[in-house]
Amino acid sequence: MNLAKYKNTPFMTYFFIGLSAIIFVMMTIAGGSQDTNVLIEFGAKYNPLIINGEWWRLFNPIFLHIGFEHIVLNMFTLYFIGIQIETMFGHWRFTGIYLLAGIAGNIASFTFSPDTISAGASGAIFGLFGAFLMLGDNFRESAYFRQMSQQFLLFIMLNLVFGFMSSSTDNAAHIGGILSGFLIATTVGAPNLAQISRVKQVAAFIIFIVINLVLIRIGVSNSI
């Protein structure tokens, strides 16, 4: 077994893209990814059902998409940013950042967009942008990370501006994903690049937990 090839191949990025594509085909066969009943059946974020105990709906939407353009745009973005983040952080740290940022994005949507049925990998993908911002913040001496972080920050700001102008964009999920991606990336660190202080890692994890618990509490209170 070629361990170097295993280490450098972004197989989790490929896995998430493949899984999303398979589920999209299944939704299309079931009646269409834009059909409300299909979205709910496959686990889209839908507050009334979450309040009734279906908390897995904060996880499933990461792999669901509404329409062909939605999945193409998200998977195209995931391919390019995912390869970079997975290479820098490693397979399992990348996986943790992606999934936890996706869940946190859905928690933010649960709290601030309670009346919408939502789905998509955007929160998780924005979490990867948040991870890159963490690299720029912690490794400022690197011209590469500094420049790339500035570019991603501009991209994020433009997306949020356009998101506020579009009723179909769940900006709450995007913001939740960015913030959580930054915090989780700080928590797990990037040992392939440099060490982050243990105090900063622990503090980031505590902040991540507290923020999301508070958001869940607020979301539940507003839905009762």
Burial of 197 (0-12, 13-18, 19+ CB in 10 A): exposed
* 70 is annotated as an active-site residue: no
Q: Other C-beta atoms within 10 Å of 37: how many? A: 10
Catalytic pick among 70, 113, 149, 174:
174
| End-to-end Cα separation, the chain, in angstroms | 55
* 174 is annotated as an active-site residue: yes
Query: What torsion do the CA atoms of 215, 220, 221, 224 make, to the nearest 10 degrees?
Result: 160
List CB contacts of 205: < 8 A, sequence separation 6 or more. Answer: 183, 184, 187
Coil, strand or helix: which one is 71?
helix
Give the containing element (helix H, strand E) for 143: helix 143-165
Residues 124, 131: Cα–Cα separation, whole Å = 11
For the chain, the residue count is 224
Residues 19, 116: Cα–Cα separation, whole Å = 24
Residues 141, 137: Cα–Cα separation, whole Å = 9
Catalytic pick among 122, 166, 167, 168:
122
Tell me the catalytic residues.
122, 174
